[in-house]
Amino acid sequence: MLELTAELSRSLGEAAAAILRSSHLVALAGAGLSVESDIPPFRGPGGLWTKYGEPTNLSYREFTKDPKEWWEARFRNEDRPGDPTYELKVAVDAAEPNPGHHALVEMEEMGLLKCVITQNVDNLHTEAGSKSLVEIHGNRTWLRCVGCGVRQPRDVYHFDSLPPICTQCGGVIKMDTVMFGEPIPEDVLLASREQAETCDCMLLVGTSGTVNPAARLPLVAKELGATLIEVNPDATTLTSSCDITLNGPSGELLPLLLKRLKNGGAGEPGERA
Ligand code: APR
């Protein structure tokens, strides 16, 4: 349980005041936001890459070399304990949105949060009710055509033959999740950049700030005068660029921040974390 120190209480007040002053708040979410949904992060304590090593940048090249084999391997779906992709799949399949996701939804419903740019592919923002969302690394519940970029829900697709072929352009269909070595689709890249250039306040939630182009977005916003607020139990590469840092788990801090926003920025007597 988070200890609500005087310093944290002060920082929460500063963050709430900055958000209430803002006219275009954007959140940049990373894997840390889903840790309290029991999905492991990639880096830092308990991270999948910490455990298994960072993957190479060859996944996309392997896919394009033999999409049929990639899809057949996926459908073979051997239980592969000790495989980070399998470990992530098991965790995401069982995950539910946590209070951090729900707090972002309420900030959006209050008209304060204009957009969430997420690096997470777990679909938990949508399940929690976020409407204005840019999924810069894709979404695991969708498919996307490599040729024309058309997306469709994975659940309605009949995998009669492999690899799945796009009925619009005849291109090969892949998971919407962006693979290592795959260019970020143009539409989400432009949308995320536009949000970073438009915002006057950016809430960095649970990201190590190590993977571009997402990690550059806060710096773009900062250069254009935005206030940066970081929510993270640990320091990151972005911490030194942030105006306000809230050290702790987002599943506890975002609901506390939401409470401040609802109270016009003030804390409540005897407020508990
Ligand atoms: N609440 C908030 N932040 C947390 C929590 C928590 N409960 N637990 C951990 N964190 C923080 C960690 O301190 C770390 O800074 O979340 C961050 C997770 O960092 P990464 O695992 O690197 O996740 P992310 O920044 O989203 O990675 C970006 O890397 O491998 C790619 O595609 C993958 O989208 C991912 C990208």
Q: Please give the Cα distance from 270 to 273 (Å, whole number).
A: 10
Minimal CA–CA distance to 190: which of 133, 125, 114, 134?
134
Ligand 1 pocket: which of 51, 125, 232, 242 to mutate (most atoms <8 Å of CB)? Answer: 232
CA of 47 to the centre of ligand 1 (A): 8
| Residue 35 CA, closest ligand 1 atom number | 7
Helix (H) or strand (E) holding 52: helix 48-52
CA of 55 to the centre of ligand 1 (A): 15
Axis-axis angle for helices 99-109, 250-262 (nearest 10): 30
Q: What is the pLDDT of residue 80?
A: 74
Predicted TM-score (pTM) of this structure: 0.96
Residues labelled as active-site residues: 137
C-beta of 40 in contact with ligand 1 (< 6 A)? no
Q: What is the pLDDT of residue 234?
A: 97
Question: In angstroms, what CA-CA distances link 102 with 38, 81, 150, 205, 250?
Answer: 16, 31, 29, 13, 11
Q: What is the pLDDT of residue 156?
A: 82
Q: Are strands 151-153 and 142-145 parallel, antiparallel or unpaired?
A: antiparallel
As annotated, the residues of the chain forming the CATH 3.40.50.1220 domain(s) are: 6-38+96-138+184-262
C-beta of 142 in contact with ligand 1 (< 6 A)? no
Q: What is the pLDDT of residue 273?
A: 53
C-beta of 122 in contact with ligand 1 (< 6 A)? no
| Residue 208 CA, closest ligand 1 atom number | 15
The verdict on whether omega for the bond into residue 213 sits within 30 degrees of 0, i.e. cis, is yes
- Could you list the mean pLDDT of each consecutive 10-residue stretch along the chain, which spans 273 residues? 90 98 98 98 96 92 96 80 87 97 98 98 98 98 96 90 94 96 97 98 98 97 98 98 98 98 79 59
| Residue 234 CA, closest ligand 1 atom number | 13
Domain 6-38+96-138+184-262: CATH superfamily, name plus number: TPP-binding domain (3.40.50.1220)
C-beta of 32 in contact with ligand 1 (< 6 A)? yes
Ligand 1 atom 6, closest CA = 249
Q: Please give the Cα distance from 177 to 188 (Å, whole number).
A: 12
CA of 28 to the centre of ligand 1 (A): 11
The sign of the CA dihedral 253, 210, 17, 12 is positive
